[in-house]
């Protein structure tokens, strides 16, 4: 699943990295399962290693910010499907993180995570895209229309 890999570029520390995925209810469960599987395959490590897909966060403050954002989402009712914590004790590595059923009140839905945290909010149906500009900050919208087929 390309969107999981794309969202981990620069360890999520780019203002145009996708962070929230609004997915139609009919394919939500399958999308989340495929996204988690793809995120588990992301190899985190030394950026100079050709096998690495995602490097470290910029500094220790980003680790703290990510931990706080994940904790806030879970406290408000989100489900942590993958990751959510620092990797090891050396460097600033953070696990690729996937949150589902993230409520609108959670910081992850209102602030730029600037890290490898991807949120899949509860779905709203065909008009879910109306939520994209809910905050006062400009957002990038990527619309992908394709037929998902699982057998």
What does residue 81 show for φ and ψ, rounded to 5 degrees? -90, -25
* Cα(58)–Cα(92) distance, integer angstroms: 7
Q: Which two tokens stand for residue 122?
A: 């509860």
pLDDT digits (tens, 9 = 90+) for 11-70: 888 777 778 877 777 888 888 999 899 999 999 999 889 999 899 999 999 999 999 999
Task: Provide the CATH topology of domain 12-123.
Answer: Aldehyde Dehydrogenase; Chain A, domain 2 (3.40.309)
* Cα(146)–Cα(144) distance, integer angstroms: 6
Helices (H), 7-143: 28-40, 60-75
pLDDT digits (tens, 9 = 90+) for 76-119: 999 999 999 999 999 999 999 999 989 889 999 888 888 888 88
């Amino acid at each position: 699943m390309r969107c999981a890999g794309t969202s981990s570029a620069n360890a999520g520390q780019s203002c145009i990295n996708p962070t929230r995925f609004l997915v139609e209810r009919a394919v939500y469960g399958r999308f989340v399962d495929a996204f988690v599987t793809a995120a588990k395959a992301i190899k985190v490590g030394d950026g100079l290693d050709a096998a690495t897909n995602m490097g470290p966060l910029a500094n220790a403050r980003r680790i703290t910010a990510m931990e706080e954002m994940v904790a806030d989402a879970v406290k408000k009712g989100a489900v942590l499907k993958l990751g959510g914590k620092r990797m090891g004790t050396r460097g600033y590595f953070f696990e690729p993180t996937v949150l589902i059923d993230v409520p609108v009140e959670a910081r992850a839905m209102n602030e730029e995570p600037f890290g490898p945290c991807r949120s899949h909010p509860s779905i709203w149906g065909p008009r879910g895209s109306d939520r994209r500009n809910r905050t006062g900050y400009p957002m990038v919208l990527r619309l992908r229309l394709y037929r998902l087929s699982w057998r």
